[in-house]
Each structure stands twice: as structure tokens, then as C-alpha cells.
Amino acid sequence: MPEDTRPLTVSELTRRIKSLLERGFSSVSLTGELSNVHRHSSGHTYFTLKDDNAQISGVVWRSRAALLRMDPLDGMKVVLTGRLTLYEARGSYQIEVTTMKPAGIGELAELFERLKQKLHAEGLFNLDRKRQIPMFPESIGIVTSPTGAVLKDMISIINRRFPGVQLILSPVRVQGGGAAAEIASAIRLFNETEPVDVILLARGGGSMEDLWPFNEESVARAIFSSAIPIVSAVGHEVDFTIADFVADLRAPTPSAAAELVVPDRRVLLGNLRKNWYNLHESTTAMLKRHRDIIQSLIRSHPFHSPLTLLNQAFQRIDELERSLQFSVDHQVTLLKSSLSGLQKRVFSLDPEATLKRGYVLVYEGGKLLTRAAELDPGDSVDLRFHDGTVRSTVE
């Protein structure tokens, strides 16, 4: 069979199409909306780029992901460049991305507001969950780029204001693809292996696109989950990121954060000197007042005649003793008089005393009789006198 009429294998056809495709579209720029974004454990990112009528598969190899200026997200409208390739195993074409950026500032602003509303509804911005930044931290964790002026300025300010505090750097990228993952990982690392008193999350100013890693949901949730207070110092004073809203404290600039997180040693020493002076003055005044009181006592007449004071005290004791004895004697006399009256009353009511005056008690069969009508002639009765009892017969 002639060569030009021999049927091609699928692999042969695919290789021809692949060669034509990759030579014809070695570099292409596309715009569209991302969907089905999937970050594989290998580090590669797969996605679909679509518009209203068509779609194309795309891939960002791990070696390129670090060079992107953003992390791809579902629903994000982007402009990307790359080259078309054919994935022979499935016979489908895709674009291998070399650069990617948001389609415009409006797209980023829309994503920002969407995530902001979502996290606000979940309570990540609630003020009652924000913790107090320690006044005198012993150790500070810094999450920022290891290069550039931001780190140097913060270290310089902290060491000048409060030397001796331990500074621990967790170096991360602060912009581009993969930066958000590094920032979130650094926050978790401090919580798990390097427990510091406070964490500074910082980077210098830049465009909204440059600051975008600090608007990523992964960073926001890492801040929210941190057991260590976090100060967010991202960009300039006019820049706001999602990280600012979630953090326990927002500083307008990294330099301001360095000033907020530690006190100024010179101010502390000045306050100590002022407090020492005030304490010295108040103590001196108090001692002077007590010295004046003692001097006044020393100059007084009683101080020079202590025996006079003692004798006056003894005299006063004697007067009190006499007064007490008089009061006791008076009470005893009153009690004796009352007792005598009671004795007389008791004696007057005693039956024996009545019998001694000549009265007789008449009993019949042991019963005391009080009326003559109770007796009949011939009845036998007992007559009780004060000195004894006799038997008698009524006539």
C-alpha cells in the first residue's frame, strides 16, 4: 500500500496535530473566566478558561506557579499568556500558562468585596474576638519577605525602642502566586512550633494586585485560627486588605506596627523617673509632717513632765474607783431593802405565824373545815394549834 494512503494511527495523527498546533500557537494571549481550579499535590494547577461560547483547559506548572502575580481562583476573570499544547493521552489541547493577571482592577475589587462580605457574615471580623496585644512582649514573630526595606526598618525600630526582645523571622513571598499559601503556612508554623507573644504580618506598599495575597481566604482563615495575637501591617495607610479586618490589630504601615508592638524604652524610663520623683517628693513631705508633729510633742509641757501626766492618770483611776464603789454600795443597799420587804410579806403569809397569834385550824377526817355549818353535834374533829394537834368532840 502506498505510504500516502496508509491509515494513520491515532498516535501519529495526534503527533502531527501537536506539531502543527504548537508551531502555530507558540505564544498566545487569552482572556476569560477561571473555573474548576484545582491545585494538585504535585504543585501543578489545573483549570478551565471559558467565555460565553467556548472553553479551553489550562495548566500552570509548579515551576511557573511561583512566578505568577496571583493565585488563580474560581470565578476570576484573567488575562493570561502561554502556548498551546496537545495532551496526547486524551487528544485534547490546552494552554500552558507563563503569565497570568486579573482582567482589571474592577475584577479584583469585586472579588475583594465578595470575600469581605462572606467572611464578615461568618464572624471573622467580630470585634469581641480580637485579643489584646501584649504590652511587653518577650518574643515577636515576623512574617514578611526576607529582602527589602520593610524587614530592616521594623528590626531597627524595635531594637531602638525596646532592645532585648527576641525577633523570629518566618521568610515568605509577599506577592505573586503561592505567596498566600506561604503566609498562611508561616502563621500556622508559629502557632505549632515557635510560640511567640505576637506576630507581625507585614509588607510594603503596592498595587491592589501586589497586595492580593493578603486578600486570600486561606490567609484570612489562618489569622482567624491563630492562638497568637496578630498585627497586620500591609501596604500604606490608605491600603486595606482582608487581613487587616481579621487581624487583632491593624497598623497603617509596617513601621507603625513596629512602634505599636513594643513600648519606647526612653518613654518608660522617663515615666519611671517621673514616678520616682513624685514618690520621693510625697514621701519627703509626709516625713516632714510627722517630724513637725514629733517636734511639737517634744516642745509641749506634758512631754517634759511625764510624772505629772502619770499622777493625773492615777488620780483619775482613783476617782473612777470611788465612783464605782459608791455605785456598787448603793445597789447593794437597794437590794437589801427590797429583800427585807419581801421577807416580811412572806412571813405575813405563813400559816404558822397565824396560829401563833391564837388561831386554830379545824380538820375532820383530814379535811380542813372553814364553816361551822359543816359540823354536827357529836362529830370528832382535830384541832391544830401552832405547837400541836388535839382530838375533840363537837357538842
Domain covering 135-263 assigned CATH 3.90.650.10 in the classification: no
- Its sign, for the CA torsion 104, 110, 113, 119, is negative
Distance CA 163, CA 176 (A): 34
Amino acid at 244: D
Identify the pLDDT of residue 201. Answer: 95
227 CB burial (10 A radius; 0-12, 13-18, 19+)? exposed
CATH no. for 3-103: 2.40.50.140
Which residues are CB-neighbours of 263 under 8 A, at least 6 positions away? 135, 136, 161, 162
Cell for 365?
377526817
* Nearest in space to 197 (alpha carbons), one of 140, 264, 257, 263: 140
SS3 at position 18: helix
- pLDDT, tens digit (0-9, with 9 covering 90-100), for 128-166: 999 999 999 999 999 999 988 899 999 999 999 998 899
- Rg of the chain on CA atoms, in Å: 55
Q: What Cα–Cα distance (Å) separates residue 327 from each residue in 142, 313, 332, 333?
A: 88, 21, 9, 10
* Nearest in space to 68 (alpha carbons), one of 101, 32, 37: 101
Distance CA 275, CA 92 (A): 78
- Please say whether the beta carbons of 22 and 84 come within 8 A: yes
Q: Please state the rounded mean pLDDT for residues 249-265.
A: 92
SS3 at position 156: helix
Domain boundaries, the chain: 3-103, 135-263, 266-299, 304-347, 351-393
What share of the chain in percent tops pLDDT 90? Answer: 29
- pLDDT, tens digit (0-9, with 9 covering 90-100), for 228-242: 999 999 988 888 899
The separation between CA 88 and the C-alpha centre of its own chain, rounded to angstroms, equals 60
- Please say whether the beta carbons of 32 and 103 come within 8 A: no
Helical (H) or strand (E) element with 79: strand 77-87
- pLDDT, tens digit (0-9, with 9 covering 90-100), for 318-338: 888 888 888 888 888 888 888
Distance CA 57, CA 35 (A): 10
Helical (H) or strand (E) element with 47: strand 45-50
Distance CA 213, CA 183 (A): 8
Which stretches within the chain are classed as H helix? 10-24, 62-65, 105-121, 149-161, 179-192, 217-225, 242-246, 254-261, 265-299, 301-304, 306-348, 351-356
Identify the pLDDT of residue 142. Answer: 95
| Intra-chain end-to-end CA distance of the chain, in Å | 187
Which residues are CB-neighbours of 125 under 8 A, at least 6 positions away? 119, 245, 246
Res. 205: pLDDT tops 80: yes
Pairing of strands 367-369, 361-364: antiparallel
Residue 138 CB-half CA count within 13 A: 3
Identify the pLDDT of residue 208. Answer: 81
Identify the pLDDT of residue 1. Answer: 45
Identify the pLDDT of residue 168. Answer: 94
- pLDDT, tens digit (0-9, with 9 covering 90-100), for 53-106: 889 999 998 888 766 766 787 878 888 888 888 887 887 888 999 888 777 666
What is the pLDDT confidence band of residue 304, given thresholds at 50, 70 and 90?
low
Cell for 8?
494513520
- pLDDT, tens digit (0-9, with 9 covering 90-100), for 172-201: 999 887 889 999 999 999 999 988 999 999
Identify the pLDDT of residue 130. Answer: 92
Res. 395: pLDDT tops 50: yes
Residue 18 CB-half CA count within 13 A: 14
Q: Of 21-25, 246-250, 277-281, give the lowest mean pLDDT range.
A: 21-25
Identify the pLDDT of residue 100. Answer: 83
- Please say whether the beta carbons of 140 and 200 come within 8 A: yes
Identify the pLDDT of residue 47. Answer: 92
Other Cβ atoms less than 10 A from the Cβ of 41: the count is 5
